[in-house]
Structure 1
Amino acid sequence: METKNEIPELNRNLYPDIEPYSTGFLKVSDLHTVYWEQSGNPNGHPVVFLHGGPGGGTSPSNRKFFDPEFYRIVLFDQRGAGKSTPHACLEENTTWDLVEDIEKLREHLEIPEWQVFGGSWGSTLALAYSQSHPDKVTGIVLRGIFLLRKKEIDWFYEGGAAAIYPDAWEPFRDFIPENERGSLINAYWKRLNSDDLERQYAAARAWTKWEMMTAHLLPNEETSKKGDDDKFSLAFARIENHYFVNKGFFSSDSFLLDNVEKIRHISTVIVQGRYDVCCPMMSAWDLHKAWPEAELKVVADAGHSANEPGIASELVAGNEKLKNIIMRNGP
């Protein structure tokens, strides 16, 4: 009984809204400047939030996964996304540029090491960053695993997920003429990089609506409406498509799985919705098999979004678990 009492009950509720105590812009190259913010406890344990997409940007609700009394919460918008400039820019925009931006931000904020938190594309980037700089990472929380392998891209963008969402799929597919449907990713690339801005916007809306309509287990009107926002859609669709056409800028299809050895020792929690259509559970399962030391939490009644109740609850609990490990081990 005594041992049981030593394991604290983990909080699973999102924390209240908080405002940043500092914000700024960091010039990471001659071309790119990224927006960053800090909230929570200035003297707390640092954690960096890696948003999805790529191209999705951060939002105030992202702060609520972390105990603001314990964590120094760092959010930033990746190149071309959110408040970062230039908006929707694809030049000098690769996975490895972003990995180095994370390092530049860590150094700029004078943080020796930090916890890494990422969902969807954020999980891809969290793995790539942690494998590049394992000595700077104290713990990892991942959600909706995306390893950017060909079978994952084909599933969601070349017709696999259409089996579940034919009603959402057909407008996405039908935006492209029949003779170009051999590769929808490439057909969208042509339009998202057109000289005609209106053509870019139309393709971006179609792309974004498909993704937003499939992000939740149950339809979510607020998420679906993001596809109507041209500014958001353009960055989201252009940058995502650019990364997918370039296979994530990885040297092999199984790059992230092949490099798990570098981060095996880092305390990690993986949260995966059983019915995630965007990033199906096969990827979380493959990662779990390659990395059994990481804890896998499968949410039985959830899809892809971090804002679904079951997923949000496990994400908060994952951070609480790592918080307890840090408190137990001391500074």
Structure 2
Amino acid sequence: MTKRRILYPSIEPTRTGMLDVGDGHQLYWEQCGNPDGKPVVFLHGGPGGGASPDHRRQFDPDRYNILVFDQRGCGRSTPYASLEANTTWHLVEDIERLRTEVAQVDKWMVFGGSWGSTLSLAYAQTYPDRVTELVLRGIFLFDQYEVDWLYKEGGASAVFPDKWEEFIGLVPPEEHGNLVEAYRRRLTSDDVAVQLAAAKAWSKWEAETVTLLPSPETIDHFTSDDVAVAIARIENHYMAAGGWLEEGQLLRGAEKLRDIPGVIVQGRYDMCTPPKAAWALHKAWPEAELVIVPDGGHLYNEPGVLDGLVRATDRFATEHSPRST
């Protein structure tokens, strides 16, 4: 039996800073690993989630020069939970500025999961000549089917009916037809108590559907005051706008990825970003390897999912050295 991979040992960043990207936003970033290694940028989930020290542990620090950062409005970036000038296309340009002004590399590998997979695809399709490889997990194409799966009756609600009733219980029945809009009104309320209650309910629904066996620690993290507001406000802001993407845009743009090696890792039992989107992307981009994890869910640190991700980064570190990119 093949031994499964685990996260690389924890390492401290060698460089940190704040990048002013305009519009009043500053992004917190960290760089670590081998300064002469293969450049890679990690795009975290969310929107509104933020990066963590474990995210950089999916890469061999002897072979990778690793950049992680917090997107607009979340984590240690400022201003906190801001919706101003916060769209997919602002973030795409932020990534490009990080490449040129912080990493100062010609090209790099892009690694993203969940919402980070959406952002990775949008960036790679905008700047295909700047991407050496793509490693993606939990594909979210931001098509209406996927938004409805999460926030309309008949999708994730069919798997988590008890949690769904709790989620919709915050708003009266006449608002159940458009929960994203109902929550948007509360998440942008001038009443701090109303905003916080909506943020906790929104974030708790995500925490309870993001894995089949949510731990109390996961739910506590998602619903803590300093995390829930950014996750809920920014994520709801993106859901209400369809991610500023046209329906089917990322699938139509997959032809721009034909020269980019890729690996897609998808849990079979992912109830947050179901495998349907990963399969559609693989058909539109057959050059990428699709790894379906038979016992995997959504989170990157589930054993089979993590195994697929680390194997992908190890493979690309070997097949494509910094000199060959």
Q: Given the alignment, which residue of 173, 183, 190 partners 1:195?
A: 190
Residue-by-residue CA offset, 1:34-66 (whole Å, 9 max, x unaligned): 000001111111100000011100011101100
The residue aligned with 1:5 is none
Question: What residue is the counterpart of 1:143 in the other structure?
Answer: 137
Matches for 1:163-312 after TM superposition, within 5 Å: 163-250=158-245, 252-312=246-306
**2:25 is matched with which residue?**
32
> How many angstroms apart in 1 are the aligned matches of 2:214 and 2:38?
36
Partner of 1:6: none
Deviation of 1:10 (Å) = 9.7
In structure 2, relative to structure 1, the CA distance for the partners of 1:185 and 1:323 (3 Å cut) is same
Q: Which moved more, 1:12-21 or 1:118-127?
A: 12-21
Q: Note if 1:83 corresponds to 2:83.
A: no
Using the TM superposition, give the Cα deviation of residue 228 of structure 1 relative to its aligned residue in structure 2, in angstroms.
Answer: 2.7
* SS state at 1:82 partner: coil
Query: What TM-score comes out, normalization by structure 1 length?
Result: 0.95
Shift of 1:217: 2.9
Aligned partners of 1:184 and 1:328: how far apart in 2? 47
- With structure 2 as the length reference, what TM-score do the two structures score? 0.96
**Are residues 232 and 308 of structure 1, via their aligned partners in 2, closer, same or farther at CA, if it must alter by over 3 Å?**
same
Shift of 1:14: 1.3
Give 5+ residue unaligned stretches, structure 2.
Answer: none
* Superposed displacement of residue 12, structure 1: 2.3
**Equivalent residue in structure 2 for 1:95, among 88, 95, 101:** 88
* Structure 2 residue 85 is the aligned partner of structure 1 residue 120: no
Q: Percent identity?
A: 55
RMSD, aligned CA: 1.5
Q: Which amino acid aligns with 1:145?
A: I
> Which blocks of at least 5 consecutive residues in structure 1 are unaligned?
1-8
1:3 aligns to what?
none
Report if the CA contact (8 A) 2:207-2:214 is conserved.
no
- Please give the secondary structure, in 2, of the residue aligned with 1:153: helix
Aligned match for 2:157, one of 156, 159, 162: 162
Task: Report the Cα distance in structure 2 between the residues aligned to 1:116 and 1:144, rounded to whole angstroms.
Answer: 15
Note if contact 2:43-2:120 (Cα within 8 Å) is conserved in structure 1.
yes
> Aligned equivalents of 2:23 and 2:49: distance in 1?
22
CA distance in 1, matches of 2:101, 2:282: 34
Structure-1 residue corresponding to 2:43: 50
Per-residue CA deviation, residues 201-241 of structure 1 (Å, 9 max, x unaligned), is: 11010000111111123232221212331121111011111
Please say which of residues 224-233 and 172-181 is displaced more in the overlay.
224-233
Tell me if structure 2 keeps the 8 A contact 1:11–1:320. no
The CA deviation at 1:13 is 2.2
Aligned residues of 1:180 and 1:187 also touching (Cα < 8 A): yes
The total of aligned residue pairs comes to: 322
Which stretches of structure 1, 4 residues or more, deviate above 6 A after TM superposition? none
The CA deviation string for residues 66-99 of structure 1, in whole angstroms up to 9 with x for no partner, is: 0000000100100001000000000000000000
More displaced stretch, 153-162 vs 65-74? 153-162
SS at the partner of 2:112? strand
